[in-house]
Amino acid sequence: SFLLISMSLRMAAGCWYDADCNWNGKCVDTDHCECRPGWTGDFCDVLDLRPTNPKAGYQYFVDGQNVSSWGGSVVYGNDGLYHMYAAEMSGFCGLSVWLANSIIIHATSPDPLKVPFKRQSTVWDIFAHEPSAAVAPTGEYVIYFTATIEPNQKNPPVKNGSCEGCHNGNTALDCRYDDRDWGVNLPTYMIYSDKADGPWSDPVLVPGTDIDVDSNLAVWINDDGSLVGLTRHNVYMASDWRNMSTYKIVNKWQHPDMGEDPTIWRDENGIYHGMIHIYRTDSVGLHYYSEDGIHWSQSLGGGNAFTCNISYTDGTDRYLACRERPHLVFNQTGHIIALTNGAADVSCGDAVKYDRTYTSLQRVGDN
**Model confidence over 75-127: pLDDT tens digits?**
999 999 999 999 999 999 999 999 999 999 999 999 999 999 999 999 999 99
Tell me the pLDDT band of 2, cut-offs 50, 70 and 90. very low
3-state secondary structure of 193: strand
**pLDDT over 90 percentage in the chain:** 84
pLDDT at 152: 80
Query: CA nearest 288: which of 326, 323, 249?
Result: 326
Say what the pLDDT of residue 109 is: 98
**pLDDT number for residue 351:** 67
pLDDT at residue 3, as a whole number: 42
- C-alpha 255/C-alpha 201 separation (Å) is 35
Return d(Cα 7, Cα 297) in angstroms, integer. Answer: 12
Tell me the CA end-to-end span of the chain in Å, nearest whole number.
Answer: 43
pLDDT band at residue 199, thresholds of 50, 70 and 90? very high
The tens digit of pLDDT for each residue in 265-296 reads 999 999 999 999 998 889 999 999 999 999 99
pLDDT at res. 6: 46
Each residue of 152-181: pLDDT tens digit? 888 999 999 999 999 999 999 888 777 899
CA 134 to chain centre: 12
Is pLDDT at 58 greater than 80 in this prediction?
yes
Q: Return mean pLDDT, the chain.
A: 93
Predicted pLDDT at 5:
42
Residue 237 CA to chain centroid, in angstroms? 19
Distance (Å, whole) CA 230 – CA 250: 10
What per-residue string of b and e applies to 47-57 under the rule 16 or more CB within 10 Å gives b? bbbeebbeebb
pLDDT at 161: 92
Q: What is the pLDDT of residue 7?
A: 47
Angstrom distance (rounded) from CA 117 to CA 142: 19
